[in-house]
Chains A and B, each alone.
Chain A
């Protein structure tokens, strides 16, 4: 297909809802400019587009934008694509850098994806639980995982409707091999809708605040094939360790030190096998259902297999 024909088809597609024209009409108009009047094809295309805009009484913004395309989260599989997504803010995380205004996790019915909003984009603040149409975000990739970046050209529109978030539930069986920092008795920012974990008594967003205690474990459950990061909230932590939030606070008070709680938890859980079920959010599995695997194991089937190899 010739270059001119391709351009003619593109232009035709843009106007087919508005004008009763054929691809041949467009191509003839474009050919005249390009072949007879030696106009470069890009300039010719601009001119023809303008002609039809006028004929249809439209502004340039009214026809299909030639940039971003509305996509589902699960379809994002290429970097540096300009896309539109409609998604709910599942979680906001603490930005690690001043150049980032907000970072967190978005979800739509097809899956979840990390987002970063640059500070210099000066976009409105996204709120946890809010549903937004985000037009003109750019995709990025790091080590096989995709994210979207909100930039100064992004249009943020808050929607009234709630949307379901697809949360691929995972089931993991393995040994708890590590507990990460930020586990045990932690303090969260008490400001409304801010649950950020405080670092040395400071919230990244609200500065020095009187924190509220919470109990959690950020653990690594490893089955010998993959290492999964798992978050246990206060309830799951209590069922795992027998230590409640209140008991944790008392332990810390007695020792005048919050780290005793993490130490005690570590001692109880490292090296133990668990089965964990829960939704996946980004790199984390949230432990909804936890079972310690302390029953007998059956070696017979495996023995038959090993002998027959």
Chain B
């Protein structure tokens, strides 16, 4: 009955293109145990994500101990998943699964700076499981829906910024504001990714 469980972080639904752009991370308090969040460019915070895609490649990139990297592809891009000795179950799935396969991953966003100064975002998995195409397609639709919801909230907030007389009654959107301060990419990009992802499902249906 640990009270900490009451605040379990929700697993956000986010496509690879947006996830990989979520390079800014922050904490909400100074407490060293406070959770880390990645800032999604559509204006939300993510401490955890739920991802479903195609595992296309796995490779042990570790030196002394095993450190597995998996490439997981969705209709918009590629998630990079890293699992080592502290994620033994996830590492075992990457070791034992023969690509290509659909996988569902619950994990945390992690950022690291490369030598040329750019920031890469990867997934540190809590669990990886092999799933079927129905689950994968459901995830694409669900993630499209959640992304559209975020874009709508972002655009509402933006419209209110341009019409300041209504600002007093408008609901705040602190993460939209943060995203506009931190990122250059317009949310329109992610709307296009959503359309592309949904169209890829329609194409499947048409050819079926």
Contacts and interface: CB of A to CB of B under 8 A. Distances in A.
A297 B137 contact: yes
B12 interface: yes
A66 interface: no
Chain B interface size, as a band, is 35 or more
B160 interface: no
The secondary structure that dominates the B interface is helix
Contact of A225 (B10, B104, B195): B10
A222 B11 contact: yes
A25 interface: no
Nearest to B4: A143
Interface string B127-163: 1010110110111111111101001100100000000
B201 interface: yes
A116 to B, nearest CB: 10
A301 to B, nearest CB: 10
Nearest to A179: B127
A21 interface: no
A147 B134 CA distance: 42
Nearest to A282: B1
A177 B126 CA distance: 9
A238 interface: no
A175 B105 CA distance: 11
28 contacts: A94-B1, A103-B1, A142-B3, A143-B6, A145-B6, A175-B11, A177-B50, A177-B106, A178-B106, A222-B50, A224-B10, A224-B12, A225-B10, A225-B146, A227-B9, A267-B129, A271-B127, A273-B138, A294-B132, A297-B141, A299-B140, A299-B144, A299-B201, A302-B148, A303-B195, A303-B202, A305-B148, A306-B144
Interface of B: 1, 3, 5-13, 50, 52, 103-106, 126-127, 129, 131-132, 134-135, 137-146, 148, 151-152, 155, 191, 194-195, 198-199, 201-202
